Structure 1
Amino acid sequence: MSTVTHPRFAARRSSAKAATWWGRAWVRAVEEAAFSEGDLKRGRQLARGGAVGAISVSAGRVVAAVVERDDAWTVTIAVPELEADSVDAFVEVVAAEAGRIAALVSGELPHTLVEHAEEAGVELLPYGGELAADCNCDHWTPPCPHALAVLTQFAWLVDADPFALLGLRGLARDELLARLHELGGAGTQDGNLEEEADLDSAADAVRRARELLLESGDGAS
């Protein structure tokens, strides 16, 4: 999977928490990973204040710079990628119901999809122990507040587009669509290009609306 770089989030005045159930699941993992409440609070302050630069996401890896006072720190987050058999299982779970790929492309992550994936042995949403953080600051234990700021903002990315999570787990959007096409399911068969274009347009509209909410802070809970 190639690296996808997401533009910097504007500062926001309201809560740093996520708006969707899957975004909140990511936030819970971040809370589990945090060593102290003080570190978590400072990380959220940095995230809300717009201290995190552009976030680059590739398979198993998130990288971003965080500016604090006169210093800039580089944060790298590592998350386990799905094994090949898990990717196969997840693709089959998505293909099992035609509406699932439409939901994903439209910016939704159906709870039943995640449940059925777990039943197939695929853990899509990480837990705290899977979030490995590295920063070149001198904080005494990871994850430092800079890493927690990046992790917090990644929840906002996942809120707006579940494919950010899938990409981090090693399954890019184009790869998933190609695999579904090979299986001949989920509306990706030949002759359905117009439907795919409609889904892309819907996804763009959803993402634009959510980006506006994230910038204003109204989309947080």
Structure 2
Amino acid sequence: MTAVLHPRFAARRSAARAGTWWGKAWVRAVEEAAYAVEDLAAGRRLSRSGRIGQIEVDAGGFVAAVEDDGGVWTVVGAVPPLGEEERDALVETVAAEAGRVAALLAGELPHSLAEHAEEAGVELLPYGGELGTTCTCDAWADPCPHALGVLHQIAWLLDADPFVLLHLRGLPREELLARLHGRQGGDHQAAPAADPLAADPDLAVALDAVERARRVVELLEQDAGPADHLF
């Protein structure tokens, strides 16, 4: 599996709250994991300070650098990845209802998908005790404010793209699409698939819309001027 390096967030004047139901569920897990309210408040301040570097997400964990007045620290986090049988069950759950893949590609995590996955024995959203972190700072609390800052920014990543959650759980976008494509092709697939989206034009349209939206966000963050040409 390939790690994905997500762009760093610029400084924000006000607290950015998770806006989606799954982003809010992630934040609840972060709050459960925190040792003290003061640590949570410090973590939120760091999350919007612009002093957290790019977050690298891979199956089962993440890593990021965090700067404060005391120096630069490295935060490493762990989220339990799904086992092979759980990943198979999740793929079946996604394929069981039309429109679920298109919803994921459009940045939505259907509540019914999470519910049906849970019924199949697959817990997508972690609880507080599953969020493990370490930091190179000398704080005794785990997670420390640096780790809590990174965890809050991950909620923003989840808000924008639920595939980040699936990636952390061990099923990144490319693998899910490839498995779905292979499932549709069955034993009749004679050659390697050139494009998992080729068999479904609706998915291709959804993915194109997502990529355009991401590019607009990048240009706005870089203050690159009007992005009307992307529409």
Regarding TM over 0.5, the answer is yes
* Candidates 196, 209, 214, aligned match of 1:202: 209
CA-CA distance at 1:194 after TM superposition: 3.7
In structure 1, the partner of 2:4 is 4
Amino acid corresponding to residue 65 of structure 2 in structure 1: A
CA-CA distance at 1:209 after TM superposition: 6.0
Separation in structure 2 between the aligned mates of residue 158 and residue 214 of structure 1, nearest angstrom? 18
In structure 1, the partner of 2:229 is none
Separation in structure 1 between the aligned mates of residue 18 and residue 220 of structure 2, nearest angstrom? 11
Question: Cα distance 1:154–1:190, how it changes in 2: closer, same or farther (>3 A)?
Answer: closer
Task: Please report the TM-score for the alignment, with normalisation by the length of structure 2.
Answer: 0.86
Question: Cα distance 1:103–1:139, how it changes in 2: closer, same or farther (>3 A)?
Answer: same
Separation in structure 1 between the aligned mates of residue 217 and residue 20 of structure 2, nearest angstrom? 11
Question: Cα distance 1:189–1:10, how it changes in 2: closer, same or farther (>3 A)?
Answer: closer
Task: Please report the TM-score for the alignment, with normalisation by the length of structure 1.
Answer: 0.90
Matches within 5 A, 1:10-89: 10-89=10-89
CA-CA distance at 1:19 after TM superposition: 1.0
Matches within 5 A, 1:170-181: 170-181=170-181
Separation in structure 1 between the aligned mates of residue 33 and residue 215 of structure 2, nearest angstrom? 30
In structure 1, the partner of 2:133 is 133
RMSD: 2.1
How many pairs align? 213
Provide structure 1 residue ranges, at least 5 long, that are not aligned to the other structure.
216-221
Question: Cα distance 1:214–1:157, how it changes in 2: closer, same or farther (>3 A)?
Answer: farther
CA-CA distance at 1:64 after TM superposition: 0.1
Question: Cα distance 1:106–1:214, how it changes in 2: closer, same or farther (>3 A)?
Answer: farther
Structure showing greater Rg? 2
Q: Deviations over 1:34-93 (max 9, x none)?
A: 000000000000011112100000000100000001500000000100011100000000
Question: Cα distance 1:102–1:69, how it changes in 2: closer, same or farther (>3 A)?
Answer: same
CA-CA distance at 1:202 after TM superposition: 1.6
Separation in structure 2 between the aligned mates of residue 190 and residue 126 of structure 1, nearest angstrom? 29
Provide structure 2 residue ranges, at least 5 long, that are not aligned to the other structure.
186-194, 223-231
CA-CA distance at 1:134 after TM superposition: 0.2
